[in-house]
Structure 1
């Protein structure tokens, strides 16, 4: 075996999960999510979310960066004019505050992939933190929803 072949054989292998292996489960009314990857030590969580038309997510602040890619549908933050449509990429710096909204006029499910570092701090009407949602919290919610639906324990990458 040559040096390159030996190096390839000893390198870490990529990990794959098919869509069917990580089911979409309810998070709130009108929203299903799939937890793809987690690293609680690094505070990283990667999710895919399917929003029905008219869904609004509570105003929140991020403690770390967020990376988002829209696969279908459209959505926006109520505080900003930009509209994310299929093919849109969005970067959010740490500290960003916003309210995610999917227009009720959408004719299809809005499907978005998010990679999130740190936590979401859910805010009340006065800007006070009501809840903290981080990588471990989301993993617990996902596992709990899978169990409640009678599904096998999900093989989220990183667990």
Structure 2
């Protein structure tokens, strides 16, 4: 077998001035304090909170069966199921471990985790916002990247990690 030779890393002084630092995070965290509660039985683990472009990416973890939320997005959403499964009431498919989900802008859907799922973890990339809806399709609230930052900041302060713990995810 032929040996692969990797190039040497680029010295720091060859990077463009003002380059935003990369984010490299370990796998799914075991420290429960890192998980931010967002709904009863549901938490997020922020990965990137991008204020400049108005999106966030995070892991959503659900450990309770039932409806997580009914919402709509004005921009596309991407998801990859890492553990467990979930579905939308409005569709006849189930997103299972390893499945990729693309949500087109404007679609309203109700995320549900079924009784037989002990834990669901899905990576989501959300552009824009989540607009929460009631059963009649009326807007009841919203979440955007700025809201996510504040929710995380308050949570991290309350669990002893410090309000500035969230800063590592902000770009």
TM-score over 0.5 for the alignment? yes
User: Is residue 54 of structure 2 the alignment partner of residue 49 of structure 1?
Assistant: no
Structure 2 Cα separation of the partners of residues 6 and 39 of structure 1: 27
Within-5 A mapping of 1:1-159: 9-11=14-16, 12=19, 14-19=22-27, 20=29, 23-106=34-117, 108-152=118-162, 153-154=164-165, 155-159=167-171
Deviation of 1:158 after TM superposition, in Å, equals 2.7
Greater RCO (Cα-Cα under 8 Å, separation 6 or more): 1
Provide, for residues 20-57 of structure 1, a one-character-per-residue CA deviation record: whole Å limited to 9, x for no partner.
Answer: 59811222211121111011231111110111141312
Change (3 A) 1:9 1:122: same
What TM-score comes out, normalization by structure 2 length? 0.81
Structure 2 stretches of 5 or more lacking a match?
1-8
Structure 1 Cα separation of the partners of residues 161 and 10 of structure 2: 40
Structure 2 Cα separation of the partners of residues 102 and 51 of structure 1: 8
Deviation of 1:91 after TM superposition, in Å, equals 0.6
Deviation of 1:8 after TM superposition, in Å, equals 8.8
Structure 1 Cα separation of the partners of residues 82 and 91 of structure 2: 20
* 1:30 and 1:55 in contact (8 A); partners too: no
- Higher-Rg structure is 2
What TM-score comes out, normalization by structure 1 length? 0.86
* 1:31 and 1:55 in contact (8 A); partners too: no
Deviation of 1:5 after TM superposition, in Å, equals 5.2
Provide, for residues 103-132 of structure 1, a one-character-per-residue CA deviation record: whole Å limited to 9, x for no partner.
Answer: 0111x3101000000111101122111101
RMSD: 2.3
Change (3 A) 1:8 1:138: same
Aligned length: 155
